[in-house]
Structure 1
Amino acid sequence: MLYPNEVYTVFSFIGFVLCAIPFYWHFKAWNTGTCLFMIWAGLGCLMQCINSIVWNGNMINRVPVYCDISSRIQIAQNVAIPACSLCINRRLYKVATAKVMMPTDAEKRRAVIQDLMIGVGLPILQIIAQYIVSSNRYNIFEDFGPSSSSVLTPLTFVLIYAWPVAIGTVSLFYCVSAICAFYKRQRLFKQMTSHSQFSRGRYLRLMALSATEMFGTIPLGTYIIVVSAKAGVTPWQGWAATHSNYSEVIQIASFIWRSDPGMANGLEMFRWSLVACAFVFFAFFGFTDETRQFYRRMYKPIASRIGCSRFIFHGPSYLCVVHLLC
C-alpha cells in the first residue's frame, strides 16, 4: 500500500518527465517563456521528488548546502511560474499585434533577453527580498524536506505574498489584450503563422496554458494573503531582531505540521501545485504533431521487439489514441 508521501514521489517524478518531453521543440522555436515554464516546473518536481525520498520519515539535517539551494529555489518558484506565464502572454500579445510577419534575428534575441529578465530576474529578486524577512536559515519538515522561513510582518506581504498576485494581474492584462487583438486580426494572423513555426494551434495552446495558470495564480495568491493575515501579523522589529537566530535550523516532525491545518495546507498546496503545472503543460503540449513524431521514433524499436510491426496514432493532437498492430 502506498502512503501519501510515496504517492507524491511517483507523481512528482512523472511531472518532471512530462516537462522534459516537449522541451526540445519549444527551445528550437525560441519559445523562451514556455522553456522557462518547463524548467521551473520540472526542476520543482524533481527537487520535491528528491526531498520526499530523502526526508521520508525523518527530519535529519542532511547536506546543508543542498538544503540551502532547495529552500531558495522554493522561494524563487513563488514568482517563477507566474513570471513565465507573463512572458508567454507578452509574446502572444506581440505576435497578435505585430505588423511585420518575420521578425529579424536581432528582434528575436531582444525578445529572449526580455523574457530572461522576467522569467529568471524576478525569481532572483524574490530570493533577495525573502532574505530581508527570513527568520532562520531554513526549516526541515519530516516527509517534505527543507523549506524557507519568514517572519510574518507587513513587510513580508509586500516583499513575498504580493508578487504572484501583481504579476498575475499584469499577465491578465496581456492575455485579454492578446485575445482581443487575435480576433480582430485573424486573417493577418493566419498569414503570419503560415510563414513561421509559430502555428495557430500552438498560439491557442499557449494562450490556454497561460490563462489556466493565471486564473490559478491570482485566486491562490489572494487566498494565501488572506489566510496569512488571519494567522496574525507582527510588527517589523528591524534587521538585527529578525536575523538574531538566522543560523538556526528548525526540524519539525510530520505529526506536528500535519496537525496544523494552515501549515499542512500550505506545504501540500505548494508541492502539489508544481505537479499540477507539469500535468497541465503536458495536457496542452504532450500530443502535438512534434511530440507524436517523437513517440513514433521512440516506440518503433520497442514495438518491433515485442512483435508489433506497426502502430498508428488516431485523433487530433488534444485527443490521441495509439493502436498497436501485431
Structure 2
Amino acid sequence: MRVELPIGAFIAALLMLVPLPWHWRARNIPTLSIIVWLFFCNIGAGVNAIIWADSIRIVAPVWCDIYTKIQVGATMALPACCLCLCIHLERIASVRQVGTTLQQKRRQMIFDTMMCWILPMVHMALHYIVQGHRFDILEDFGCRASIYQSVPSILLVWMLPMLVVALTLVFAGLSLVHFFRRRVTFACHLQNSNSALTTSRYFRLMAMAIVQMFWGVFIISINMWFTYRNGLRPWTSWEDVHFNFSRVGIFPTVLTPVSIQRWTYFIWWTMPITSVLFFAFFSFGQDAIKEYTACWRWVQRVIFRVRSVDGSAPNSSNIHRIALSKLDADKTYSTSGSIPDFGTKARPLSFDDVSSMSTTPTTATFSTSHHLSDPSKSSLTPQPHNMV
C-alpha cells in the first residue's frame, strides 16, 4: 500500500478548510468554489487510495461514477474560477467601476455561479460524448475517467479549459495594466470602489490566479500527452465508440510499465500540490493572522473556564488573580459591616487557602476572575485540483 497517497490527500483537504471562514464572510464565490472543488477532489482521491490499495477489484462502482465526473468537472471548474477572479479584479482596477451597487453585486454572483458550477456541469455532460466505457481502475490509485482518444475528445475535454485559461491570461494582463497606470493612487482607487479589497489582498488574489493559470496549463498539457501518447483513434460512429459501455478497464501494477507508473504517480500528486499552492497564498496574510489570533483567544478562554469549573490546580497567574479578588472581597465585607470584625490579626494567605478558594469561590471572587480572564471583553476584534 502506498501509505503516502491517502495521507497527502487528506492533509491537502484539511488545508482547504483553513482559509474557508474569511472567504465565506467575504462571500467570494470564485475562491469558495475553488475550496469546495479541491476539497472534494482530495477527499475522493484519498478514499480511492484506501479502497484500491493493492487491489483492482470492481467495488463501489457508483462511487467511481461520481468521482470520475468530479474529476472531469474540476478540469473546467478551476480555470473558470480563476477567470471569474481576474474579471472581477480587472473591473475593480479599471475606471469603469467607481462603485458597486446591490444590483451589480447580484449580477456578479449569478455570473460567478454560472461559471464556477453550471459550466463544469455542462463539461461533465459533454464528456459522455467521448466516454468510451464506464471508467478505469488503477491499482493503488483507484478510479479514473475514461476518454476515447480522438479528435472530438481533444476539442471537448481539453480545448475548452485551455480557452478559459487563455481568457484568464487576457484579464490578468489587463488588471496589471490598470495597476501600472494608476499605481500611485491605486490604494485610494480600491477604497473609492467600495470594495473590501486592500492592495495586498488584491495582489494576493492576482498572484494566485496567475500561478494557478500557468500551473493549470502545465497540468493540462501533461495530461494530454499522457492520454494521447499512443496516438488517436478514428471516430467512426456513436454506436462504435460507446459499444460495451458498461465495461470497466482494469490496470494492475504488474502489467503496467514502470514509466507509466511514474507518470501516473506524478499526475496524481498534482491535485494536492494545487491545494498547497492555494493554501500558501491565503493562509499567511494579515487576514489569516487575525483569524489565527481570534481562534487562539477562543481556545484560551474556553480552556481557562474548563479548568476553573474542574477545580484543577491553578497556575501562578490564577493564584495571583484569586488572591487579589479575595483581598478585595474582604475589604468590601469589612467596610460594609457584613462580616463582623473581632479584632483578629490578618495572616498571609497559604497555598491551601488559595486552593480551597479556587474550588469554592465566593460570588465576588468569581465575578472578578471572570472579567480578568475573559478576552472577549477586549475592544479588539479580529477579520483556489487534480486537472485530469
* TM bucket, shorter chain: 0.7 to 0.9
Residues 66 and 223 (structure 1 numbering): CA distance in 2 closer, same or farther, change over 3 Å? closer
What letter is aligned with 1:218? V
Counterparts of 1:240 and 1:308 in 2: how far apart (Å)?
A: 80
Counterparts of 1:66 and 1:31 in 2: how far apart (Å)?
A: 30
What letter is aligned with 2:221? T
What letter is aligned with 2:108? A
What letter is aligned with 1:239? W
How many percent of aligned residue pairs carry the same amino acid? 26
- Is 2:65 the counterpart of 1:64? no
Structure 1 residue 192 displacement after superposition: 3.8
Residues 255 and 82 (structure 1 numbering): CA distance in 2 closer, same or farther, change over 3 Å? farther
The answer for unaligned runs of 5 or more in structure 1 is 310-326
Counterparts of 2:119 and 2:204 in 1: how far apart (Å)?
A: 25
What letter is aligned with 1:114? F
Q: Give the alignment's Cα RMSD to 1 decimal.
A: 2.4
Q: Which residue of 2 aligns with 1:318?
A: none
Conservation of the 8 A alpha-carbon contact between 2:52 and 2:142: yes
Cα deviation 1:289-325 (Å, max 9, x = unaligned): 232233223334667869899xxxxxxxxxxxxxxxx
Conservation of the 8 A alpha-carbon contact between 1:175 and 1:211: yes
Counterparts of 1:10 and 1:98 in 2: how far apart (Å)?
A: 47
Structure 1 residue 272 displacement after superposition: 1.4
Structure 1 residue 106 displacement after superposition: 1.5
Cα deviation 1:130-187 (Å, max 9, x = unaligned): 1111111111111111111111111111111222322111111111111101221235
- Look up the SS of the partner of 1:186 in the other structure: coil
- Is 2:32 the counterpart of 1:32? no
Residues 216 and 285 (structure 1 numbering): CA distance in 2 closer, same or farther, change over 3 Å? same
Residues 114 and 308 (structure 1 numbering): CA distance in 2 closer, same or farther, change over 3 Å? farther
- Look up the SS of the partner of 1:220 in the other structure: helix
Residues 147 and 222 (structure 1 numbering): CA distance in 2 closer, same or farther, change over 3 Å? closer
Q: Which residue of 2 aligns with 1:236?
A: 235
Q: If you compute each CA radius of gyration, which structure gives the higher value, 1 or 2?
A: 2
Conservation of the 8 A alpha-carbon contact between 2:91 and 2:97: no
- Look up the SS of the partner of 1:102 in the other structure: coil
Cα deviation 1:234-263 (Å, max 9, x = unaligned): 110211011111111222213334x25346
Counterparts of 1:28 and 1:192 in 2: how far apart (Å)?
A: 23
Conservation of the 8 A alpha-carbon contact between 1:30 and 1:112: no
- Look up the SS of the partner of 2:99 in the other structure: coil
Q: Which residue of 2 aligns with 1:298?
A: 295
Partner residue of 2:120 out of 116, 120, 123: 123
Structure 1 length as normaliser, TM-score? 0.85
Conservation of the 8 A alpha-carbon contact between 2:77 and 2:116: yes
Counterparts of 1:6 and 1:238 in 2: how far apart (Å)?
A: 43
Aligned pairs for 1:172-211 (under 5 A) are: 172-194=169-191, 195-211=194-210
Q: Which residue of 1 aligns with 2:17?
A: 20
Counterparts of 1:138 and 1:230 in 2: how far apart (Å)?
A: 19
- The number of aligned residues is 305
What letter is aligned with 1:59? I
- Is 2:133 the counterpart of 1:136? yes
Partner residue of 1:47 out of 6, 20, 44: 44
Residues 28 and 210 (structure 1 numbering): CA distance in 2 closer, same or farther, change over 3 Å? same
Structure 2 length as normaliser, TM-score? 0.73
Counterparts of 2:249 and 2:223 in 1: how far apart (Å)?
A: 23
Q: Which residue of 2 aligns with 1:247?
A: 246
